[in-house]
Structure 1
Amino acid sequence: MTDMDEADTDAEQAVIARYRLADDGFGGQDQRATVRQAESLLTEAIEQADVGEFDGHEFGGGEVVLYAYGPEADALFAVMEPVLHGLPFRPAHVVLRYGSVDDPSASEHRIDL
C-alpha cells in the first residue's frame, strides 16, 4: 500500500443532518429532548455497526445540525437513516461528504428527508 492509498483509507467522511425547528432560536424544550433521544440511538447504532462515531449537535438559528464521521459516509448513513427519518422536524436534509473537511476536492451528496 502506498502513502496515497493509506491517506485515502484514513480520510474522514461525514454525515451532516439539518432539521428546521419551530422557532428562530434553539427550538422548544420538547424538540431538544427529542434530539437528545435521537443522539443516544444514533451513538448506539453507529458504535454497534462500527462505522464511525457520532460527534454531536449544534442548535441555533432555528435549526439543529447533527454530525457523524467515519471512513465511509454511505455506510454511516445506512446505519443512521432509520433514526434520522424518525425525527419529526421538517424541512430536513442530510449531506454526505466524501472526504475530509479540509479537502477542497471532497464531494457532497444531498438527500432530502
Structure 2
Amino acid sequence: MDTLFDLPEPERQQAVVAHYRLSDDQYGSPAEREAIYDAERVMTAAVEAAGVGEVDGNEFGGGEAVLYAYGADAGALFKIMEPTLRSLPFRPANVVLRRGSRESESRVDL
C-alpha cells in the first residue's frame, strides 16, 4: 500500500476578515497601526490557545486596516477574536465570516 496517496482530504479553511476605517486615506497614523499590531498579537495568542485556527496577518492601505484569520470554523474563530476586534476604536468597522463560497458569507458590524 502506498500511503502517499492515502492522505486525508485537507479541511476546507474558513475565514474571519476584519475591516477598519482609519483616520486618513493612506495607512492611518503610527498610533493606529500600533493598535492594530497589538490587537493582532493578543488575538494570535488567544486563537492559538483555543486551537481554533490562526491569525494570518494584516494589510494597510487606502485608509483601511484589514486583519485576516483562518480556521476550520469561522464562527468559533470569531467568538475567540470578537472581544479584541470590538475593543479597537476605529469605525466604521465590520467583520466578514467566510464559511466557504461567497454565497455563504455573513457580515457583522462592529
> When the two structures are superposed, what TM-score results if normalisation uses the length of structure 2?
0.89
In the alignment, the residues of structure 1 paired with residue 13 and residue 56 of structure 2 have an alpha-carbon distance, to the nearest angstrom, of: 12
Classify the secondary structure of the residue corresponding to 1:15: strand
Q: Secondary structure at the match of 2:105?
A: strand
Question: Gaps spanning 5+ residues in structure 1: where?
Answer: 1-5
What is the number of equivalent residue pairs in this alignment?
103
Question: Is it true that 1:50 corresponds to 2:47 in the alignment?
Answer: no
Q: Deviations 1:28-78 (Å, cap 9, x if unpaired)?
A: 000001011001001000000000000000000000000000000000000
Question: For the structure 1 residues 42 and 91, does the alpha-carbon distance in structure 2 shift closer, same or farther, using more than 3 Å as the test?
Answer: same
Please give the per-residue CA displacement for 1:7-40, whole angstroms capped at 9, x wherever unaligned: 5x70100000000000000000000010110010
- The CA distance in 2 between the partners of 1:73 and 1:87, in whole Å, is 20
- Of the two, which has the highest radius of gyration? 2
- Give the secondary-structure state (helix, strand or coil) at the position aligned to 1:84: helix
4+ residue stretches of structure 1 with deviation over 4 A? none
Structure 2 residue identity aligned to 1:95: V
Q: Are 1:20 and 2:21 an aligned pair? A: yes
Using the aligned pairs only, state the percent identity: 56
**CA distance in structure 2 between the partners assigned to 1:39 and 1:105 by the alignment:** 25
Shift of residue 105, structure 1, vs aligned partner: 6.1
Q: What is the RMSD computed on CA atoms of the aligned residues? A: 1.4
What amino acid maps onto 2:104 in structure 1? Answer: S
1:107: how far off? Answer: 1.1
Q: Which runs of 5+ in 2 are unaligned?
A: 1-7
Matches of 1:61 and 1:85, distance apart in 2: 21
| Aligned: 1:78 with 2:75 | no
Three-state SS of the structure 1 residue aligned to 2:23 is coil
Determine helix, strand or coil for the equivalent of 1:10.
coil
